[in-house]
């Protein structure tokens, strides 16, 4: 494997980490105003991700930084091309991050209720927009021979990307509800379980519609062949199994399965992209690839050394922090947020 391919894989790994981890905390944020009836309940829900959400978000920042370092042209074309969508997402993320910290710092129901809806919107918007963005990358957007995006905001809104957005939104929300089934207790636990069961079918249906649309809208399947291989199939089987696992109250396994669905769907999309990183709908020859968008071999080498040393360390201490705070959260305990 050459360094360009290694970095393509690494960025895929960072996105998997990001979607897996922040996927559930987006889901938790979306469910917050609906699952939590009174203040202590809402606080318990926020506290279930209180320790983790900031660390989870760094996966996105690292993915962005890694794109910049390893594939500057990808970073430049994508971020300037999807400008308005990203502005909206940044506004959502700005408000969301502050909301977690500020919400419970005033003993005022109006104040708290407002922040709860900020958390909702701040989670809803990125959960939707990431699906839209990824779908457009694989479907292709107008890119000229100088790697410049030549479309506009409305280019990004098409049936395929919107279905992709709704699918990611539902999948993350489902993932979040199952996470809450593992983290909450008492009434809240019952609520989370109910929501998870309700969400499973629409999420699964949307995901399959998205896959079917993918046959017509992208070249992913002509690339992967009629038999797409074991990874996409496992992604499909995993989401199917979630319904059953929820029924028999095996939430731990259900969480693993939504995790696999997220991870393997992301891998499928990256496999469909490879060796491209952004598809040009104007002319296939103008697509950005891991070669024409990449940094110099020297930079890739330096960054590989850094990644090999530090990614395992980060994984180790993040996993450890999840282990320390593995206990269920209850409305009866002391709540920090």
- Helix (H) or strand (E) holding 277, with range, is strand 276-278
Candidate segments 27-35, 84-92, 254-262, 268-276, binder of another protein by CB under 8 A: 84-92
Contacts with another protein by CB under 8 A: the residue count is: 70
Q: DSSP label at 328?
A: P
- Applying CB under 8 A, which of residues 5, 34, 105, 198 lies at the interface with another protein? 105
Q: Would you count residue 274 as binding another protein (CB under 8 A)?
A: no
Q: Least distance to another protein from the beta carbon of 94, Å? A: 4
Q: Would you count residue 283 as binding another protein (CB under 8 A)?
A: no
- The distance from CA 222 to its chain's CA centroid, rounded to whole angstroms, is 26
- Applying CB under 8 A, which of residues 24, 149, 255, 270 lies at the interface with another protein? 149
Q: Which two tokens stand for residue 66?
A: 């890694």
Q: Least distance to another protein from the beta carbon of 162, Å? A: 21
Query: Burial of 282 by CB count in 10 Å (0-12 exposed, 13-18 middle, 19+ buried)?
Result: middle
Cβ pair 290, 71 in contact under 8 A: yes
- Applying CB under 8 A, which of residues 9, 86, 162, 231 lies at the interface with another protein? 86
Which residue, 190 or 336, has its beta carbon nearer to another protein?
336
Q: Least distance to another protein from the beta carbon of 305, Å? A: 9
Q: Would you count residue 306 as binding another protein (CB under 8 A)?
A: yes
Cβ pair 163, 206 in contact under 8 A: yes
Neighbour tally for 106: CB within 10 Å: 11
Candidate segments 22-30, 71-79, 132-140, 167-175, binder of another protein by CB under 8 A: 71-79
φ and ψ of 143, to 5 deg: -135, 130
Q: Can you tell me whether residue 276 is helix, strand or coil?
A: strand
- Helix (H) or strand (E) holding 146, with range, is none
Q: Would you count residue 83 as binding another protein (CB under 8 A)?
A: yes
Cβ pair 174, 203 in contact under 8 A: yes
Candidate segments 54-62, 199-207, 229-237, 252-260, binder of another protein by CB under 8 A: 54-62
* Alpha-carbon span 31 to 128, nearest angstrom: 14
Q: Is 229 left (phi over 0), alpha (psi -120 to 50) or beta?
A: left
Q: Least distance to another protein from the beta carbon of 146, Å? A: 9
Candidate segments 75-83, 131-139, 164-172, 210-218, binder of another protein by CB under 8 A: 75-83
Neighbour tally for 180: CB within 10 Å: 28
Q: Would you count residue 307 as binding another protein (CB under 8 A)?
A: yes
Using CB under 8 A, list all residues that contact another protein: 40, 47, 50-52, 54-55, 57-58, 61-62, 64-73, 75-81, 83-84, 86-87, 90-91, 93-98, 100-102, 105-106, 147-150, 295-296, 298-299, 302-303, 306-307, 310-311, 314, 317-318, 321, 324-325, 331-334, 336
């Amino acid at each position: 494997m050459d360094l360009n391919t290694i970095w393509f894989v690494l960025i895929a790994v960072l996105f998997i980490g990001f979607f897996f981890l922040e996927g559930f905390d987006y889901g938790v944020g979306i469910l917050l105003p609906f699952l939590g009836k009174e203040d202590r309940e809402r606080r318990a829900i926020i506290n279930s991700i209180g320790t983790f959400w900031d660390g989870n978000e760094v996966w996105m920042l690292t993915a962005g930084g890694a794109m910049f370092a390893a594939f500057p042209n990808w970073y430049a074309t994508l971020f300037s091309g999807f400008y308005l969508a990203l502005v909206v997402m940044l506004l959502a993320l700005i408000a969301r991050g502050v909301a977690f910290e500020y919400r419970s710092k005033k003993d005022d129901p109006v104040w708290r209720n407002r922040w709860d809806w900020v958390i909702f919107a701040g989670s809803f918007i990125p959960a939707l927009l990431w699906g839209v963005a990824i779908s457009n990358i694989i479907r292709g957007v107008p890119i000229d021979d100088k790697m410049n995006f030549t479309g506009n905001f409305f280019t990004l809104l098409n049936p395929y990307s919107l279905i992709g957005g709704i699918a990611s939104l539902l999948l993350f929300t489902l993932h979040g509800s199952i996470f809450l089934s593992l983290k909450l207790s008492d009434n809240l636990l019952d609520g989370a379980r109910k929501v998870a069961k309700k969400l499973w079918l629409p999420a699964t249906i949307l995901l399959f519609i998205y896959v079917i649309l993918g046959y017509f809208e992208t070249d992913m399947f002509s690339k992967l062949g009629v038999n797409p291989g074991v990874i996409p199939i496992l992604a499909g089987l995993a989401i199917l199994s979630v319904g059953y696992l929820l029924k028999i109250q095996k939430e731990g396994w259900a969480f693993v399965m939504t995790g696999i669905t997220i991870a393997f769907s992301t891998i499928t999309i990256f496999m469909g992209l490879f060796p491209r990183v952004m598809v040009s709908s104007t002319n296939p020859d103008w697509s950005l690839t891991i070669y024409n968008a990449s940094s110099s071999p020297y930079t890739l080498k330096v960054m590989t050394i850094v990644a090999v040393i530090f990614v395992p360390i980060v994984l180790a201490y993040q996993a450890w922090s999840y282990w320390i705070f593995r206990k269920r959260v209850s409305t009866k305990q002391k709540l920090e947020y």
